[in-house]
Amino acid sequence: MSAVGIDAPAPSVKRMSETQETLHFALRNRKLVFGASVTLAMLLFAIIGPFFAHHPPLEYGGNLSSPPTTKDGYWFGTTLLGQDVYSQFVTGLRLAFLVGAIGGGIAAAIGMVVGFTAGYRGGAVDEVLNMLTNVVLVIPTFALLLVIAAYLPTRSIVTEAVFIGITSWPWAARAIRAQTFSLVARDFVDMARLSGRSSWRIIFQEIAPNMSSYLFMMFILLFGGAILIAATLDFIGLGPSNTISLGMMMQLSVQNAALQLHLWWWFVPTGLAIMAIVGSLYVMNVGLDEVFNPKLREM
C-alpha cells in the first residue's frame, strides 16, 4: 500500500533526551492527537457499547424497519425484520477491532520474520525469501481469500482474520528487508557480531529497536488494511457464519432493499464507523511519521 506511504525515518541511536523530544513533538502534532483520539474513542465504544445493548444482535422482535428511537433501546432503529441495529453495530465494531488486531498482528509477525531474515542473512536466503515475497505480492490476495473462504463450510471471525494475516504481509516484509539492509552495514551491528551474540538476539536487540517507530507504523497500516479486507469479504457473503459484522450488515441491507425503502440507519453507521477507524489510523500514522522524521515536520 504505497499509496498511504510510510516512509522510514532515519535510524538513529537512542538517547534519553530523545524520548522527551519525541513526546514533545507527539503532543503538539495535531494529526497524531486527532487520529489517536478518534481511534481510542471508537475502541472504547467497541468495548463498552455492547453492555448498553438491550437486545441480542440477531434477535427478531422489534418493530419492523423502525427509525432510531429511544423507546426499548432501539437507538439506531431496527432492520427490515425487526433486529436491533445498535446491537448489531456494536458487535460488528468489536469484531472489526478483533480482525484488525489478529490479522494485522499475524501479517506484521510474518513480515518481520521474513524481512529481518532476508535483510540480515542476505545471499541465497534473501533470494529465496524475496522470490516468495514477490509471488505472494503479485497474487491478488482478495481473490485468493474468496476461493479459500468459499470452500470453508463454517467460518469464524478468527479464521477469517488468520487468513487475512497470512496473505497481507508481503509489502511489510519488503519494507523491513530494505530497512534491515541499511542497518546491517552499520558499525554497531558489526560490534554486536564481534561480541558473539546469536543472529536473532542481534536482530531483536540491535536492529529492531532502531526501527521500532517504523515497525509500529507498519502495524497500524496492516491493522487498518485488515479491517477493510474483512469488511469487503463479509460484504461479498463470506463473513463469519455465527455472528454479525459491519460488512455483513451492509450486505444484508443491500439484499433486503434497505436503499429503496430509505432505511438509512441500517447502512450509514456501518461504513461511517469503518471510515472513522481506518481513516483515523492513517492520519495517526502520518502524525507519527512527522514526529519521528524531522524533515516532514511542518514549518
- Min CB(72)–another protein separation in Å: 26
Q: Which of 267, 287, 288, 291 binds another protein (CB under 8 A)?
A: 267
65 belongs to the binding site for another protein (CB under 8 A): no
* β strands within the chain, DSSP E: none
Among 66, 282, 287, 291, binds another protein (CB under 8 A): 282
Residue 205 cell numbers, joined: 536487540
Say whether residue 154 binds another protein (CB under 8 A).
no
Closest by CA position to 40, among listed 287, 284, 292, 291 = 284
Residue in the structure block whose three cell numbers are 436503499: 259
> For another protein, what does the binding mask look like between residues 103 and 142, x meaning CB under 8 A?
---------------------------xx--xx-xxxxxx
Q: Is 271 in the site for another protein (CB under 8 A)?
A: yes
Count of chain residues binding another protein (CB under 8 A): 60
The contacts of residue 94 (CB under 8 Å, 6+ apart) are 46, 47, 49, 50
User: Does 254 participate in binding another protein (rule CB under 8 A)?
Assistant: yes
Measured from the CB atom, is 69 or 232 closer to another protein? 232
Alpha-carbon torsion (152, 153, 157, 159), positive or negative: negative
Q: Check residue 40 for interaction with another protein (CB under 8 A).
A: no
Question: By CB neighbour count within 10 A (0-12 exposed, 13-18 middle, 19+ buried), where does 250 fall?
Answer: buried
Residue type, position 277, single letter = I
What residues numbered 197-236 form the site for another protein, per CB under 8 A?
224, 228-229, 231-232, 235-236
C-beta of 43 vs 148, nearer to another protein: 148
In the bound state with another protein, the residue whose beta carbon lies nearer, of 202 and 274, is: 274
By CB under 8 A, tell whether 274 contacts another protein: yes
Scanning the structure block, which residue is given the C-alpha cell 439506531? Answer: 76
Residue 13: which H helix or E strand, with range? none
DSSP string, 230-250: HHHHIIIIIS-SSS--HHHHH
Does the footprint of another protein cover residue 169 (CB under 8 A)? Answer: no
Residues 6+ apart with CB under 8 A from 108: 169, 172, 215, 218, 219, 222
Residue 29 C-alpha cell reads as: 502534532
List residues binding another protein (CB under 8 A): 1-5, 7, 130-131, 134-135, 137-144, 146-148, 150-153, 171, 224, 228-229, 231-232, 235-238, 247, 250, 253-254, 259-260, 262, 264, 267-268, 270-272, 274-279, 281-283, 286, 295-296
